[in-house]
Amino acid sequence: MEKTHLREITLGGLLDEAVEKWPDNEAVVYVDRDFRLTYREFGELVDELAMGLMALGIKKGEKVAVWATNVPYWVALQFATAKIGAILLTVNTFYRTTELEYLLKQSECENLVIIDGFREIDYLQTTYELIPELRTQERGYLKSEKFPDLKRVFFLGQEKHRGMYSMSEVVNLSSVVSDEEFEERQATLDPHDVVNMQYTSGTTGFPKGVQLTHYNIGNNGYWIGRNQDFQPGDRLCLPVPLFHCFGCVLGVLAAVNHGTTMVILEGFDPLLVMASIDQEKCTALYGVPTMFIAILEHKFFEKFDYSSLRTGIMAGSPCPVEVMKKVMDKMSMKDITICYGLTEASPVMTQTRMEDDIVRRTESVGRAMPEIEVAIFNPETGEKCAHGETGEICCRGYNVMKGYYNNPEASASAVDVDGWLHSGDLGTMDEGGYVAVTGRLKDMIIRGGENIYPREIEEFLYTMNGILDVQVAGVPSVKFGEQVGAFIILKDGVEMTSQDVIDFCRGKIARYKIPKFITFLDAYPMTASGKIQKYKLRDMAQELYPDA
């Protein structure tokens, strides 16, 4: 574990530092709408929003749920809420009525900020359906029968909607609050206050509200950027969702800590990513493996210039070795890193370093971040595992969440009495402290008493010509308990049969590891943050192969 000085500073303090040090550096850029703000301009917008929210009565400790794609106001709200001691509650853009209702109730949320919608989901209609009182009650006096804690609803745009405040109105109200009142509010803040709440993505069960502090995510953001050698001249292309830690911590907070420019996309579009890199001369790019695959396989890939790129992050799900090598070679990202963690860890606990050799930068998720302990524990005995032995990946340090909101039992289950956060992921650690993720505790396939790690089979199948992506999951079996199932996406124009896959495996991997059930898909069920929902693949397999 590297020892460093952890900073006691709020997110508002971090932004103020960036404005003071790099006022004329571009902070936020949107290529598709030519939206550009320097750090000075961005800081002014944040302060206006913060003071406007104060004018409307938002108190320290209130939650502000933001249900929006990566629109320009999103990042400003991240810091505006932080500056007045409110808690930014990020809402999954794919949520529907039931999920939003659950989140607002469980979090006891006081404020909701929305856009008009996303894809086929109408946010306005959903909001009015859940909160019909908006159509009849005066703004500022909302009394919702279903959500007794809810006080205000905002529309993230200039348009006016019944019962909602627009962003222009919020900004105009900033003049009601004096500079002295604003400074007094900021003086009451503590870096160990909760500043961000994110609900777990639901890959393993019912969502839980993860409470993260300024101290948690501010320091994590610093080291994420430091490990990529972010400088004020760097330009980060950010196509990942801001509602997820990948966007608002690995992206926004890493950038602001180092005066880096954020070139933000409202949503992932491979063509717009390539155009943004080329036009803005981006030096870093973030994405989950499926995003990088979509870029590399795009028919216009060769038409864009990637020579400005040097670093970035591939994370969110296991990074195929072959994909990583192509990214480093064809996209000039020689210094690309891999991060590993979970929301409850703020979120990064390990990261590869730029000086790591090619093997470690493609076959591990790196080593512990400074000031964070990482260890592998035997899930059955609770003992630390020897080097190379598979167990549960755990971490301890400044980055561990403050707990799940209103859920002490789940909090105690996730963080043990010794302060270790249990990830639920399986992995190994070598003598150098480098961690390799082999799967989730629930992903491990036990076939007739043999433990099978999906990642091993996935990496092997990636070497088969014609396979674009592959996920391996257990299929319930009466005879063996579980059988191996492979879910394959083929490259365009490729035809393949299950027998082709089996023949490719024969003689190359152990017989019990060869997939018994092979399913060809066009896409995987995924969370909005890019994580593949393996439990849905298992459910699909159970329906497809009921007599397994």
Predicted pLDDT at 480: 82
Nearest Cα to Cα of residue 135 among 96, 177, 163: 163
CB 163 within 8 A of CB 45: no
Predicted pLDDT at 120: 87
What Rg, from alpha-carbon coordinates, does the chain have?
Answer: 24
CB 504 within 8 A of CB 488: no
CB 302 within 8 A of CB 315: no
CA distances from 168 to 68, 154, 160, 352, 413 (A): 17, 11, 10, 43, 44
Helix (H) or strand (E) holding 447: strand 445-447
Q: Is 310 helix (H, G, I), strand (E, B) or coil?
A: coil
Q: Which fold has domain 36-199?
A: Rossmann fold (3.40.50)
Distance CA 248, CA 221 (A): 9
CB 67 within 8 A of CB 100: yes
Distance CA 395, CA 384 (A): 12
pLDDT digits (tens, 9 = 90+) for 373-382: 999 999 989 9
The dihedrals phi and psi of 444, each to the nearest 5 degrees, come to -55, 130
Predicted pLDDT at 74: 97
pLDDT digits (tens, 9 = 90+) for 391-447: 999 999 999 999 999 999 999 999 999 999 999 989 999 999 999 988 777 777 888
Predicted pLDDT at 3: 58
Predicted pLDDT at 306: 98
In sequence order, what are the residues at sequence separation of 6 or more whose Cβ sits closer than 8 angstroms to the Cβ of residue 138?
none
Residue by residue, pLDDT tens for the chain (548 residues) are: 555 679 999 999 999 999 999 999 999 999 999 899 999 999 999 999 999 999 999 999 999 999 999 999 999 999 999 999 999 999 989 888 988 999 999 999 999 999 999 988 999 999 999 999 999 999 989 999 999 999 999 999 888 999 999 999 999 999 999 999 999 999 999 999 999 999 986 555 578 999 999 999 999 999 999 999 999 999 999 999 999 999 999 999 999 999 999 999 999 999 999 999 999 999 999 998 889 999 999 999 999 999 999 999 998 776 777 888 899 999 999 999 999 999 999 999 999 999 998 788 888 999 999 999 999 999 989 999 999 999 999 999 999 999 999 999 999 999 999 999 999 989 999 999 999 988 777 777 888 767 787 888 998 899 999 999 999 998 888 778 889 999 999 999 999 999 999 999 988 887 889 999 999 999 999 887 788 888 889 888 888 888 77
What six digits make up the tokens of 242? 């801001």
What six digits make up the tokens of 289? 């493996």
CA distances from 252 to 18, 86, 87, 91, 223 (A): 12, 18, 17, 17, 13
- The DSSP secondary-structure symbol of 134 reads G
Q: What is the DSSP string of 193-259?
A: SEEEEEE---SSSS--EEEEEHHHHHHHHHHHHHTTT--TT-EEEE-S-TTSHIIIIIIIIHHHHHT
Distance CA 145, CA 133 (A): 8
Distance CA 531, CA 341 (A): 13
Q: Please tell me the CATH superfamily of domain 452-544, with its number.
A: ANL, C-terminal domain (3.30.300.30)
**137: burial class by Cβ within 10 Å (0-12, 13-18, 19+)?**
middle
Domain ranges of the chain: 36-199, 452-544
What six digits make up the tokens of 445? 């396939």
Long-range contacts of 320-324 (CB under 8 A, 24+ apart): 320/289, 320/458, 320/459, 320/462, 320/469, 321/362, 321/363, 321/459, 321/462, 322/462, 322/463, 323/289, 323/292, 323/293, 323/296, 323/462, 324/361, 324/362
Distance CA 10, CA 85 (A): 10
What six digits make up the tokens of 358? 């090619």
Whether the upstream peptide bond of residue 320 has omega within 30° of 0, thus cis, is no
CB 167 within 8 A of CB 158: yes
Predicted pLDDT at 4: 67
Predicted pLDDT at 443: 77
